[in-house]
């Protein structure tokens, strides 16, 4: 899945809205020095001081159209990056870059191409971090599942078990086949089912996910197999939102009804 990368220039609002303007906290008053009394029987008491009040954050208000425009851009672009897994930024650096680009002042510390490369790399890292729990869960499941005697694991990592073995011919990846299937996540949630729709589906084998292309070619017509597909052979790191999260291992119950052509 291709995503359009929003450039850093579009984040104007953040630098004007998320940077809290704070007052400098006053320095605490120095402790008074104890002074000796002129007599030898009493000592002067230190002066009482009032503790310094902590700095307070000013409340940001939208006072005009420019404020509203800036804030709106910040809301939209920050929401996009947060969804991609970016959870913090150096807001001073962001403010400086936006100012230099919009106002045309100062010297940029990187050109747009370099900025785009850095952004893409960081988004990829953030995305991988976000989906790592799903990847770990799938790998743990497959490691245990392969121990079952009913399960066969291919060189690619695809796992399958035979529910019903047919006696027909086996398709090639260039064939169009007719199948019934049910697809589910590792937690058992069904995300797609031709059986529930009450109608089988036809497709060309080389036009689907790799796990299907490989697995269905192992099936003689009339067979019913259950496939356990690693995320790399399914929808990859990107998944198929919102139904299939990135990094998801998938389970398919497939019945090969016919080779159409």
- Cα–Cα distance list, 78 to 81, 120, 130, 135 (Å): 5, 16, 17, 26
Find, among 2, 20, 7, the residue nearest to 81 by Cα: 7
Q: What is the DSSP string of 143-198?
A: HHHTTSTT-EE-TTS-EEEEEE---SPPP-TTSEEEEEEEEE-TTS-EEEEHHHHT
Beta-strand relationship, 176-184 and 201-204: antiparallel
Catalytic residue among 16, 71, 81, 181: 181
Q: Which of the following is catalytic: 86, 186, 209, 259?
A: 209
CA 28/CA 66 separation, integer angstroms: 39
CA distance 64 to 159: 61
Q: What are phi and psi of 92, to 5 degrees?
A: -65, -45
Give me the numbers of helices (H) and strands (E) for the chain, helices first please. Answer: 6, 7
Q: Is 191 a catalytic residue?
A: yes
User: What is the Cα 186 distance to its own chain's centre?
Assistant: 19
Residue of 231, 235, 244, 251 marked catalytic: 235
Annotated catalytic residue within 67, 116, 192, 253 = 192
Q: Is 252 a catalytic residue?
A: yes
Tokens of 255: 């019945």
Residue 209 annotated in active site = yes
Task: Assess whether 77 carries a catalytic annotation.
Answer: no
For the question of residue 87 being annotated catalytic, the response is: no
Catalytic residue (choose from 60, 141, 191, 203): 191
The residues that are catalytic are 181, 191-192, 209, 235, 252
């Amino acid at each position: 899945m291709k995503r359009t990368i929003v450039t850093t220039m579009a984040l104007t609002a953040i630098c004007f809205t998320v940077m809290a303007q704070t007052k400098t906290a006053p320095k605490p008053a120095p402790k008074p020095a104890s002074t000796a009394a002129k007599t030898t029987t009493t000592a002067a008491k230190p002066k009482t001081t009032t503790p310094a009040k902590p700095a307070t954050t000013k409340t940001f208000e939208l006072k005009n159209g420019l404020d509203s425009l800036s804030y709106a851009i910040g809301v939209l672009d920050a929401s996009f990056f947060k969804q991609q897994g970016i959870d913090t930024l150096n807001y001073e650096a962001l403010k400086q870059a936006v100012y230099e680009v919009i106002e045309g002042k100062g010297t940029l510390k990187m050109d747009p191409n370099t900025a785009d490369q850095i952004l893409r790399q960081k988004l990829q890292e953030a995305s991988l971090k976000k989906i790592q729990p799903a990847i770990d869960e799938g790998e743990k499941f497959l490691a245990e599942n392969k121990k079952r005697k009913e399960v066969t694991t291919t060189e690619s990592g695809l796992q399958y078990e035979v529910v019903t073995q047919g006696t027909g011919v086996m398709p090639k990846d260039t064939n169009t086949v007719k199948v019934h299937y049910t697809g589910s996540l590792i937690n058992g949630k069904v995300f797609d089912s031709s059986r529930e729709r009450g109608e089988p589906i036809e497709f060309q084998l080389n036009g689907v996910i790799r796990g299907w292309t490989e697995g269905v070619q192992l099936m003689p017509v009339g067979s019913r197999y259950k496939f356990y597909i690693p995320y790399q052979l399914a929808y990859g790191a990107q998944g198929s939102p919102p139904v299939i999260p990135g990094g998801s291992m998938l389970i398919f119950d497939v019945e090969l009804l016919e080779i159409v052509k």
